Amino acid sequence: MPLPRLGTRSVRLRTAPAVFVVLAVALGGTLLAVSPDGARHGKASAGASGHAVIEVSESRCGSGWTRPEPGVRTFDLHNSSDGAAEVYLEDPDSHAVYGEVEGIAPGTTRQLTVRVGKGSYAFECVPDDADAVTGPTVRITSGQRGPGAAPVSEHDLIPPALSYQKWVGDGLADVVRLTTRLQRDIDGGDLAAARSDWLPAHLEYERLGAAYDAFGDADAQINGTDAGLADGVRDKDFAGFHRIEYGLWHGESSDGLRAPAAALAKALTGLRDSWAQTRMDPAQLGLRAHEILENTVQFELTGRTDYGSGSNLATARANLDGTRQVLSRLRPLLTTRYADLPGLDQELDRAQRTLDGFRHGPGWTPLDQLSRAQREQADSVLGDLVERLASVATLCDPRRTV
């Protein structure tokens, strides 16, 4: 897959961090596991602050848990091998995962905090370049354990990814149709109609949020911003919807907008026609469900992508629609893994009601016209939703076990 260029929408989307991914899933209001961002060099002293030092290596994976008592326990995972590794704390019978830390560098120690209770546990060490190794089983005879989740495989994610990819193909056809209308407005010199038709076309594209990374370089031509461009909005590489938005709302003539509109229509048509040969990465689907709204908070609610139309809240609403489309395909996997799925649904509905409150017929309230209370409400409801969607990203992150 091509690397995204500066100024594209797809640079907003981040892949799962290689050095810090934990199974921090809010199930029933309880964190499944918590791990600090940083790594500590050197081996932790045994028993420091009640911590258990757990060895991460192929020969002694999981050794060091000598006092299996119930309650909240912190494990210092020390990688004594010569390569990076990820570690899971799981039920060796059901393989339900209770905690996870990825990217533990050689010679470093990372912490994992988990509530353990009655049941069986084992650490699984997965070196970057070797097979997984399961450590000794530890049994606890009392107490209530924290939440766990059955792992998801890439095979599990293929059907939802194929379904979503088909939906994106249909969506691209709609974007091309709406953009063709926008191009006709500009070619005909009717800029008032172009301003009316720009938003529906742009929002239809924004709803395809989980596919931006698969769009590759085409996204720069379709939805690029002026970020990283030497001449900003006047740079020759500033293109796509936002280029046209800037011109429509800053008094540019139809003559100046005809070439950008033609380029946009051409890029979208090419993307639509080639989409059937594109393959999305199924492993990224859960991550994208989270990042669509994470980027909404970062870019739309801050006004960083407003080039004159004042439509950031409309874009946020379209992004919410896009998130729902991804979640609808992941729901069969989440139903048995995410205990607070009803709570997520409630937050999605609350976010939709909040954003819909800023719509007035075909128009939307610009960000700079919101009261402080309204801004805080929008930030709060979407911020809370982003936190919940982080759970989806983690639960749908395929685990490597061999």
- Quick check: helix, strand or coil at residue 41? strand
* Range list for CATH 1.20.1420.20 in the chain: 154-395
In the numeric block, which tokens belong to residue 39? Answer: 């790594």
Q: What share of the chain is helix, strand, coil (3-state, %, to 5)?
A: 50, 15, 35
Residue with tokens 């530890």: 138
Contacts with 306 (C-beta within 8 Å, 6 or more apart), sequence order: 312, 366, 367
Strand pairing class (71-79; 52-56): parallel
* Range list for CATH 2.60.40 in the chain: 26-140
pLDDT in tens, 173-205: 999 999 999 999 999 999 999 999 999 999 999
How many helices (H) does the chain have, and how many strands (E)?
Answer: 10, 13
Per-residue pLDDT of the chain in tens (402 residues, 90 and over written 9) = 332 322 333 333 333 332 233 333 333 333 344 344 455 555 444 444 468 999 999 999 999 999 899 999 999 999 999 999 999 999 998 888 998 898 999 999 999 999 999 999 999 999 988 889 999 999 999 999 888 888 898 999 999 999 999 999 999 999 999 999 999 999 999 999 999 999 999 999 999 988 888 898 899 999 999 999 999 999 999 999 999 999 999 999 999 999 999 999 999 999 999 999 999 999 999 999 999 999 999 999 999 999 999 999 999 999 999 999 999 999 999 998 898 999 999 999 999 999 999 999 889 999 999 999 999 999 999 999 999 999 899 889 887 655
For domain 26-140, give its CATH number from 2.60.40, 1.10.357, 3.40.50, 2.40.160: 2.60.40
CATH number assigned to the domain covering 154-395: 1.20.1420.20
Residue with tokens 């939802």: 160
pLDDT at 38: 53
> What b/e readout covers 172-206, taking b as 16+ CB neighbours within 10 angstroms?
bebbbebbbebbebbeeeebeebbebbbbbbbbbb
pLDDT in tens, 114-160: 999 999 999 999 998 888 999 999 999 999 988 888 889 899 999 99
Q: How far apart are the first and last CA of the chain?
A: 25
